[in-house]
Structure 1
Amino acid sequence: MISQKRLLRAEPSFRFLAKLWRISWLYVLLICVLAGVGYGALYSADGGSAKPFAGPQSLRFGFGLVLMLGVAMLSPRVLVRLAWPLYGLSLLLLAAVLHMGHVGKGAERWLIIGGMQVQPSEFAKIALALVLAAWFHRAGHKRMGNPLFLIPPAILVLLPVGLVLKEPNLGTAVIIGAVGASIFLAAGMRLWQIAILIAPVPFLAKFAYGHLHDYQKARITTFLHPESDPLGAGYNIIQSKIALGSGGMWGQGYLHGTQGQLNFLPEKQTDFIFTMIAEEWGLVGGLTVMGLLLLIIMGGMLMSMRCRHQFGRLLGLGISMNFFLYCVVNLSMVMGAIPVGGVPLPLISYGGSAMLTVMFGFGLLLSVYVHRDASFGENEGNA
């Protein structure tokens, strides 16, 4: 029997088959199962109909699945060459949002391209993970100890964070910053460097609060005292907690959730989709979905660690961390643990930009795993 490594060195058609063989199909199955959960939840949010949410979302997932498998075939060398152009494109799109963006809920966050709404901040997370992985791929132990070497990647993080804050979109800006910080740490950042970065955080937080928009300050006030305005700013989180509690252990039954089906639950197809699942399927259903999300996160981390080259390890970690933060922020938000921020639950919430960027990210993660044994020298990742 021909080994996988020999196939990878063979003719292009055989190399393609070898790459298909090396894809983690169990991981692909987990992604498909999660998307199936999303379809079922959106079908319920539609009141037992495939329109207007479930049907279009399933088509997007089908396109995203093809995109994911196509990206998984790309080699690390190709991804490194694409890193800087994609990062530059993401900055251009973020800048375009500030000048011609579509306004929604007090912020400019979308561009209308070809009749479709595109949210560039979602794409910026993936582009940032790519370009930081390419930069740190050539970093040795001594270089990581040089503060000057860390200035350019720090600027790479601050540029998209600043543009997203201008939209304004505080939740996504925090996620972008956290993805960048996780890659810095994984690349070998020193403890004293971390301490220097963390020290000014309390002062920056106080400064940032003074420059928040009124609706953002209202979200923080509502988070602390939701009962102070039960029919206004506090309505969303109060209804979410009612729905979570009414689900009990086993739930009220599929298509029978009172808060969701009677439209008391706000944004049930996007931000609060998990609340609807927990109401209909109860604590058991909610924990099952959380377990599925955890399997995907842990699977991504394990695939990243199996990669021999630094670029793949850092890129896989960045993609996995992005997915992890999506989940943590959304679930914490609907449970009232953090202020409501408008972050979707990946592959479950309705939305085109988030769906396609998450699938593109999974494609990069699978590419890292497919090419985990590739000979990819540290000097080939020149930033």
Structure 2
Amino acid sequence: MRFERRLLLRERGTGVLEKLWQIPWIFVLLLCAVGGVGYVALYSAGGGGPDPYAAKHAIRFGFGLVLMLSIALVDIRLIARFAWLGYALGIGLLVMVALHGQVGGGAQRWLDLGGFQLQPSELMKILLVVALASWFHKASWEQIGNPLFLIPPILAVLLPAGLILKQPNLGTALITMMVGGAVFFAAGVRLWKFAIVLGAVAIAAPIAYDHLHDYQRARITTFLDPESDPLGAGYNIIQSKIALGSGGFWGKGFLQGTQGHLNFLPEKQTDFIFTMLAEEFGLVGALSVLGLLACVIAFGFLVALRSRHQFGRLLAVGLATNFFMYVFVNIAMVTGAIPVGGVPLPLISHGGSAMLTAMVGFGLLMSAHVHRDSELGAARDQR
């Protein structure tokens, strides 16, 4: 009976009520828990009050929740059909940034949309994943092994990465390429081709270093030896490490963090929000937050395993990898494992673009879960 019901749903499509029933509400509650952690952290970052960060965070999360659930109900076949149109829209937004974007901190990364600051590079990563999943959907093993077949998706990755690098935003450009690479890997691209790419990157790295901006080279130098300029380029990471260590096992207590509340900790509401949490709630609190984020990532890969079509699998892998890269880069950055790059902690850091991007990605992920048994047409029919 259950098998026959699934076949009927595939043939007739699934109604709204049926889709609502299939939404993974435990996952929604998990996201609410992560968003709640963000509210608590931003409440503390604001000096012990909802303004100026926590209240905006709650409003944005509420709006994002509605947007996420709305996207989850959209038929995944429709998402696949318009994948490249969305990609073109993302490229158009990046071009608009290059021509008319707002400048902040020496970089041109934002568009002013009636009072809302949109960072298209964040949204572009999501649109790229959808486009690549559409391209590789049901591609044969012979097609994936053909280098000519890989030229269009490679260009599709390099074009936005180049536009993002020009802003300049090296960290997001690298993450964009790594997320694209994850979709290539999941689609079955041979490992020796990745080895060639990595070899080319290793050869080009010294040349690329010479063309970096001065502040980007300073970040690398500071990463290798932060004590070489403790009051300048190395100040941020040194203060972050002090805050992490001073939290101890149980932390100093909510609103009791000295590094954050005495303003020694830089960008405590965005890039270094995890450091402030660790100082106030200690190792136990930090590991608890990491556990919640790990569950979110695990759900993404679980959706990929349960999907019956390649589009859903590749979409879930790409989106889960994108979220993982957010978390990994932010945590590694504030602990001094990699150079500081200005990547927020999703659903926790203050920022509208990061919240919007995360919720759109989760909406697409849940659509892949809700429509995991759907029948999708051949890949060439969708391109």
Q: Which TM-score bucket, shorter chain as reference?
A: over 0.9
Partner of 2:6: 5
Q: Structure 2 matches for 1:114-263, cutoff 5 A?
A: 114-263=114-263
Distance 1:33 1:378 in 2: 39
- Aligned residue for 1:199, secondary structure, equals helix
Cα distance change, pair 10–176 in 1 and its aligned pair in 2 (3 A): closer
CA contact (8 A) 1:272 1:334 kept: yes
Q: Could you state the TM-score of these two structures normalised by the residue count of structure 2?
A: 0.97
In the TM superposition, residue 9 of structure 1 has moved relative to its aligned partner by 6.6
In the TM superposition, residue 294 of structure 1 has moved relative to its aligned partner by 0.5
Partner of 2:341: 341
- Aligned residue for 2:314, secondary structure, equals helix
In the TM superposition, residue 76 of structure 1 has moved relative to its aligned partner by 1.7
Cα distance change, pair 236–99 in 1 and its aligned pair in 2 (3 A): same
Partner of 1:298: 298
CA contact (8 A) 1:121 1:172 kept: yes
Partner of 2:315: 315
Partner of 2:368: 368
Cα distance change, pair 187–120 in 1 and its aligned pair in 2 (3 A): same
Distance 1:46 1:177 in 2: 35
Partner of 1:103: 103
Q: Deviations over 1:194-222 (max 9, x none)?
A: 22222211112112111100011111111
Distance 1:21 1:10 in 2: 19
Distance 1:83 1:10 in 2: 23
- Which piece of structure 1 moves more, 40-49 or 194-203? 194-203
Look up the equivalent residue of 2:309 and give its one-letter code.
H
Look up the equivalent residue of 1:207 and give its one-letter code.
I
Partner of 1:283: 283
Distance 1:379 1:241 in 2: 49
- Aligned residue for 2:15, secondary structure, equals helix
In the TM superposition, residue 16 of structure 1 has moved relative to its aligned partner by 0.7
CA contact (8 A) 2:226 2:234 kept: yes
CA contact (8 A) 2:164 2:170 kept: yes
Distance 1:329 1:191 in 2: 24
Q: Deviations over 1:245-288 (max 9, x none)?
A: 00000000000000011111100000000000000000000001
- Aligned residue for 2:231, secondary structure, equals coil
In the TM superposition, residue 95 of structure 1 has moved relative to its aligned partner by 1.1
In the TM superposition, residue 103 of structure 1 has moved relative to its aligned partner by 1.1
CA contact (8 A) 2:135 2:379 kept: no
Distance 1:381 1:172 in 2: 32
Distance 2:73 2:7 in 1: 17
In the TM superposition, residue 7 of structure 1 has moved relative to its aligned partner by 7.7
Distance 2:46 2:75 in 1: 41
In the TM superposition, residue 191 of structure 1 has moved relative to its aligned partner by 2.2
Specify every segment of 5 or more residues in structure 2 that has no aligned partner in the other structure, as ranges.
none
- Aligned residue for 1:232, secondary structure, equals coil
CA contact (8 A) 2:80 2:130 kept: yes
Specify every segment of 5 or more residues in structure 1 that has no aligned partner in the other structure, as ranges.
none
Cα distance change, pair 318–228 in 1 and its aligned pair in 2 (3 A): same
In the TM superposition, residue 182 of structure 1 has moved relative to its aligned partner by 0.3
In the TM superposition, residue 89 of structure 1 has moved relative to its aligned partner by 0.9
Distance 2:375 2:137 in 1: 13
Look up the equivalent residue of 1:5 and give its one-letter code.
R
Partner of 1:82: 82
In the TM superposition, residue 5 of structure 1 has moved relative to its aligned partner by 3.3
Count how many residue pairs are aligned between Structure 1 and Structure 2. 382
Report sequence identity in percent.
Answer: 62
In the TM superposition, residue 87 of structure 1 has moved relative to its aligned partner by 0.6
- Aligned residue for 1:201, secondary structure, equals helix
- Aligned residue for 2:112, secondary structure, equals strand
Look up the equivalent residue of 2:81 and give its one-letter code.
R
Cα distance change, pair 381–361 in 1 and its aligned pair in 2 (3 A): farther
Distance 1:331 1:247 in 2: 16
CA contact (8 A) 2:132 2:180 kept: yes
Distance 1:188 1:69 in 2: 31
Distance 2:308 2:320 in 1: 17
Q: Deviations over 1:143-165 (max 9, x none)?
A: 01100000000000000000000
Partner of 2:52: 52
In the TM superposition, residue 223 of structure 1 has moved relative to its aligned partner by 0.8
Partner of 1:21: 21
- Aligned residue for 1:198, secondary structure, equals helix
Q: Could you state the TM-score of these two structures normalised by the residue count of structure 1?
A: 0.97
CA contact (8 A) 2:10 2:373 kept: no
In the TM superposition, residue 115 of structure 1 has moved relative to its aligned partner by 1.5
Distance 2:7 2:224 in 1: 60
Distance 2:167 2:353 in 1: 16
CA contact (8 A) 2:136 2:379 kept: no
Q: Deviations over 1:128-185 (max 9, x none)?
A: 0000000000411110110000000000000000000000001100110000000000
In the TM superposition, residue 312 of structure 1 has moved relative to its aligned partner by 0.5
Look up the equivalent residue of 2:326 and give its one-letter code.
Y
Look up the equivalent residue of 1:64 and give its one-letter code.
G
CA contact (8 A) 1:8 1:18 kept: no
Distance 1:193 1:6 in 2: 39
Distance 2:179 2:207 in 1: 22
Look up the equivalent residue of 2:194 and give its one-letter code.
I
